[in-house]
Structure 1
Amino acid sequence: MPFNQPPLLGRIAFVTGSSRGIGRAIAVEFARWGADVVVHAHKNLDLAEAVAEEIRGTGRRAMAVLADVRVKAELEAAADRVKAELGPVDILVNNAGTRQDGPFILMGDEKWEEVMNVNLRGTVYATKAFVRGMMNRKWGRIVNIVSPTGIIGKAGQTNYGASKGAVIALTRSLAREMAPFGVLVNAVNPGLIHTELTQDVPEEARRQMLAPTILKREGEPEEVAGVVAFLCSDWASYMSGQIINVDGGLCP
């Protein structure tokens, strides 16, 4: 691959849940690597549009879309709109997710289903909306954002861990199905990352979360984004079915 141009030049990326946090950092990083980017949000179009405008400021094309990842028809409609306005999507990052923590024995069906619907069903629906086009063009990249809870577990997050563990299994199996079509499927596993969602974590809880890590600090969203961008480039063309830990040395 030539080194005199951005590694993702000419590619179109769709990042779910990219109006803030890790997703936003991934969307902006893709633009730095030369991709045109679709910024997705569930409800807040203004936030998504602000990220899209930042990306346009770098000289790349961008658009903001709303869709509920739990609703297959909404993702299919978003895919059609993106194809009409920007072109076919080459890269999909399944980043959108939610948590509804609590003890397993006390957890109602509503909390369980909400987490599974967003984290697992949303990943499946988004992938189905875009993967056929990648298969037809014989090139594609799918990166699923998972969690240490899906690998080593965490008390109070049985629903979240189950959803992310399922996405890990999906990643590895889908990679095998997609390999003959030139579509690579990997996952990135962030640890405790400094975002808006972690600002209200009590200091003692933060220390406990960081204690098992090697680096003893929170990660930054950009440290996750760079790994995702690499996996979507031709530099990672011999990597598929992998779970890449970006967690400060937490997971084995």
Structure 2
Amino acid sequence: MINWKDPETWVPAVSRWARPYLNDRGIRHLKALGYKKLHWDDPDWRTRIAQQAFRIDVEEVTTRLGSALKLAFVETHHGCLTADAGTYLRLGLLRNDPDRLEEEVRRMVREEDAFARFRPEIEQRIARNPYRNGDAGRLYVALDDRALVEKAGHYLIYGSEWVVGVLGPCEELRGRGTPTLVKVRLPLSAASEYDRRELAEALLQEWTRIKVNRPVDVPVTVFTFMLRADLPPAWVTGHRHPELVRDPLVNFAVRHYPDAFCRKCRQEPRAPD
């Protein structure tokens, strides 16, 4: 399974896969180039430097790798705010449904006293929601959980972006659960052809950087998969609660969650001391 944060799970496999397309110089040439002062996400890693090792056009190599990835699995992550991560183990991950979210936010404001201040104008707020019909029928999972914590923490801090569009980044939302990262073992056959090719670009680019620069770091990538189907519970392999999350809606302030846990955590047996 491809784990972006652990190159050993995919770099050797890419090297083996690439052999039929390498020229006589191949990987030895990349290793002999010496350190390159390029940012990790500079496309030159793939389009200019990797090309030196291939006997066919690197764009064709990328397309073929994207097709080959259809048989692979990748570790992905979904950021959310929940009181019980066990819900995802029972129901899986569901696509964005604006109608369901609209009814849920009405119920919250009507029944939960914490949201009483929103009652007089809830219908006007719903009508003004900039996300009212956005991303309907879609679901997103991230290749790198660090990107969710550092760059898209609002999903973990406030929950649904749709609900934030109605109520704003308010304290009441933050109190409805625990920031959670749900781990998903995604079969790449479920991803779109476009996303598979984009992943092939990212892997070839980083593969080249590793061969040339031999870095010790693994860069944070914001790569996401956009899916148009619910994900079954069997694909959910675990969850965790980060202790620190950056809030992009409040100048990326760091929010602290020491010893965070949810209902599912309480049900799990504790490891022996």
TM over 0.5: no
TM-score (norm 1): 0.24
TM-score (norm 2): 0.23
Q: Bigger radius of gyration, 1 or 2? A: 2
